[in-house]
């Protein structure tokens, strides 16, 4: 029986030799010819995205491991924050980059849960790959995942508990802040940081409107001291000092002129020039400049200001005249800081000296210089501002890496507290919510008769990957731990049971105060499902007008 075989076109072939002298054939454009399309392409996309998800899986939970990220310049970052890890990784694959966008979306919208959402997306893609191998079409899988996600999100509403949130009763807000900080580098000072996060949010929150203005919370840091030395300042800190060393270090009952115009005489326009040919002309120019400086200082003093904060610099003569006229000044203050000072002190930013009036001055109880031990570093602290809502968190740490990680941890914690102020319903952490939703989705899948039931069961299995990753990272037996907790949840009908990561001896997350805001958990489920659907629907990648193979 003869068998017909199609021979490859070798007209463009090149014969080459390897290091052992054996010949082999290179066929030109072979890469383009063997490129996969359709289902094969979907599989390759899933594998690319899953690889990235597996990288951050080990960073999940309070016992999650940290990653060292080295930038092209050699800067080192040590973190277990999912959004930071993914944003600093060099990822070439276009599909895998979607996971970076996923963690960024979670970070922007919710602020916490960036690792969890990527791990869940990776698990969904892994389950989808198994179903594709069985011959189920990607669109059918995506539809089933959508249905399952809807069931899970609805179920979260039924298992959520409402917790009282008020300025007087801060207990629940502190519990949520502690849960968020439990997996961070700052966990040794997490009581202090939890209090800072809650105080910062309550200082700027409008509880009637359930709104928190993040613009009023500034986070700053300075190397030196310990994490425990970090504090919340009801006011603004700027990394500047007085323009002259002999100016007073502390000003009480400050009236602040906030200027965006420079302390210097008007200059000729660029198309004009000024020629000075004699000493008399130079002296006349000098006198003119001096008179202009005095005129500017008089305008500021007439308005009633006893402190000048200027966006631009001024020369030594202006600095000397400010000192002589007993008018303390700060120069080269950046635009964002100028805006923050204006908001905090209820002042107006003034672009011309002629526009300065007493009504436009900002007011603050105290303005003082903050010194750091024996170093020359100084920062300016503006406290007891007219707008008491503006606050600054001032972080101390032994090195820049610790401070950067503390800033990231505090950002997550502040976001969690903010979410509780917006919506005071919570679900329980430690994988408890995921296990409960997985049980519910499996029950609903049994009621379906079509192909969707396979995708729904796969969604339930993907939800199980979160508690399994938590157990694995905590040194527990993942499958055994998950099976035990799941059977307990079903028997006792108790959705609060989760993975005891820290070995406290109980699986009841309510007792351990491990809570997550409901809106954060819902967002995780929805974002991960949407991303999975997006990847399942891609069957080819086109770069610069050409299809890209894998």
Query: Tens digit of pLDDT for each residue in 479-511?
Result: 998 899 889 888 888 888 888 887 777 888 888
Task: Domain 235-387: give its CATH superfamily.
Answer: GroEL (3.50.7.10)
The helix (run of H) or strand (run of E) holding residue 345 is helix 335-345
Max intra-chain CA distance, the chain: 114
3-state secondary structure of 93: coil
Q: How many CA atoms lie within 13 A of 363 on its CB side?
A: 8
Which residue among the candidates 58, 77, 79, 114 is catalytic per the annotation? 114
What fold does the segment set 38-161+428-548 form as a domain?
GROEL; domain 1 (1.10.560)
Query: For this structure, is 81 an active site residue?
Result: yes
Q: Is the pLDDT of residue 368 over 80?
A: yes
**How far is residue 96's CA from residue 231's CA, in Å, rounded to a whole number?**
39
3-state secondary structure of 110: coil
Query: Tens digit of pLDDT for each residue in 27-56?
Result: 454 444 334 446 777 788 788 888 888 888
Q: How many CA atoms lie within 13 A of 274 on its CB side?
A: 11
The helix (run of H) or strand (run of E) holding residue 104 is helix 94-109
Query: Region 375-389: what's the mean pLDDT?
Result: 79
Predicted TM-score (pTM) of the model is 0.74
Delimit the domains of the chain by residue range.
Answer: 38-161+428-548, 235-387
Secondary structure of the chain: what % helix, strand, coil (to 5)? 50, 20, 35
**How far is residue 107's CA from residue 84's CA, in Å, rounded to a whole number?**
10
E runs forming strands in 224-335: 231-233, 235-238, 250-259, 307-310, 329-330
Which residue among the candidates 81, 107, 452, 500 is catalytic per the annotation? 81
**How far is residue 366's CA from residue 382's CA, in Å, rounded to a whole number?**
6
- Asked if 423 and 521 touch (Cβ cutoff 8 Å), the reply is no
Beta-bridged to residue 380, according to DSSP, are 238, 369
Question: Hey, what are 382's tokens?
Answer: 């503006």
Could you say which DSSP state residue 276 is in? -
Query: For this structure, is 412 an active site residue?
Result: yes
Query: Tens digit of pLDDT for each residue in 120-166?
Result: 999 999 998 888 888 888 888 899 999 999 999 999 999 888 888 77
3-state secondary structure of 7: coil
Which residue among the candidates 412, 452, 464, 516 is catalytic per the annotation? 412
- Asked if 466 and 431 touch (Cβ cutoff 8 Å), the reply is yes
- Asked if 507 and 500 touch (Cβ cutoff 8 Å), the reply is yes
Query: Tens digit of pLDDT for each residue in 227-267?
Result: 888 888 888 888 888 888 888 888 889 899 998 888 777 66
Query: For this structure, is 108 an active site residue?
Result: no
């Amino acid at each position: 029986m003869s068998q017909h075989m199609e021979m490859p076109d070798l007209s463009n072939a090149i014969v080459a030799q390897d290091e052992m002298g054996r010949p082999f054939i290179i066929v030109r454009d072979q890469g383009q010819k063997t490129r996969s399309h359709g289902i094969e392409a979907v599989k390759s996309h899933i594998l690319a995205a899953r690889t990235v998800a597996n990288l951050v899986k080990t960073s999940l939970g309070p016992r999650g491991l940290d990653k060292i990220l080295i930038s092209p310049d050699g800067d080192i970052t040590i973190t277990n924050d999912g959004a930071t890890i993914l944003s600093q990784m060099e990822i070439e694959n276009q599909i895998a980059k979607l996971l970076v966008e996923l963690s960024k979306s979670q970070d922007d919208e919710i602020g916490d849960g960036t690792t969890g959402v990527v791990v869940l997306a990776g698990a969904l893609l892994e389950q989808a790959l198994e179903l594709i191998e069985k011959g189920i079409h990607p669109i059918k899988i995506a539809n089933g995942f959508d249905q399952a996600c809807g069931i899970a999100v609805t179920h979260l509403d039924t298992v959520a508990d409402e917790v009282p949130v008020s300025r007087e009763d801060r207990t629940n807000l502190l519990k949520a802040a502690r849960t968020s900080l439990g997996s961070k580098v700052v966990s040794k000072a997490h009581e202090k940081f939890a209090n800072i996060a809650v105080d910062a949010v309550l200082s700027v929150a409008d509880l009637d409107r359930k709104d928190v203005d993040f613009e009023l919370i500034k986070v700053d840091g300075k190397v030196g001291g310990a994490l425990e030395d970090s504090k919340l300042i009801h006011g603004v800190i700027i990394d500047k000092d007085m323009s002259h060393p002999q100016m007073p270090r502390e000003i009480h009952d400050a009236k602040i002129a906030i200027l965006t115009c420079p302390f210097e005489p008007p200059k000729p326009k660029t198309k004009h020039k000024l020629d000075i040919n004699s000493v008399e002309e130079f002296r006349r120019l000098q006198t003119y400049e001096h008179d202009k400086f005095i005129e500017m200082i008089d305008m500021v003093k007439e308005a009633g200001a006893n402190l000048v904060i200027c966006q631009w610099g001024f020369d030594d003569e202006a600095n000397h005249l400010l000192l002589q006229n007993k008018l303390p000044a700060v120069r080269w203050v950046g635009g964002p800081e100028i805006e923050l000072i204006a908001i905090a002190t209820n002042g107006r930013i003034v672009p011309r000296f002629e526009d300065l009036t007493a009504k436009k001055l900002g007011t603050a109880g105290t303005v003082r210089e903050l010194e750091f031990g024996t170093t020359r570093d100084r920062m300016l602290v503006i406290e007891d501002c007219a707008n008491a809502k503006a606050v600054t968190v001032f972080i101390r740490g032994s090195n820049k890496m610790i401070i950067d990680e503390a800033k990231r941890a505090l950002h997550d914690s502040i976001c969690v507290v903010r979410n509780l102020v917006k919506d005071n319903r919570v679900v329980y952490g430690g994988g408890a919510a995921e296990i409960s939703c997985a049980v519910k989705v499996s029950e609903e899948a049994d009621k379906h008769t079509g192909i969707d039931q396979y995708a729904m069961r796969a969604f339930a299995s993907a939800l199980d990957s979160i508690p399994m990753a938590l157990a694995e990272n905590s040194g527990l037996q993942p499958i055994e731990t998950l099976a035990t907790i799941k059977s307990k949840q079903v028997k006792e009908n108790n959705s609060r049971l989760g993975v005891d990561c820290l070995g406290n001896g109980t699986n009841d997350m309510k007792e351990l105060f491990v809570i997550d805001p409901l809106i954060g958990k819902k967002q995780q489920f929805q974002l991960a499902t949407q991303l999975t659907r997006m990847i399942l629907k891609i069957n080819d990648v086109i770069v610069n007008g050409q299809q890209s193979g894998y």
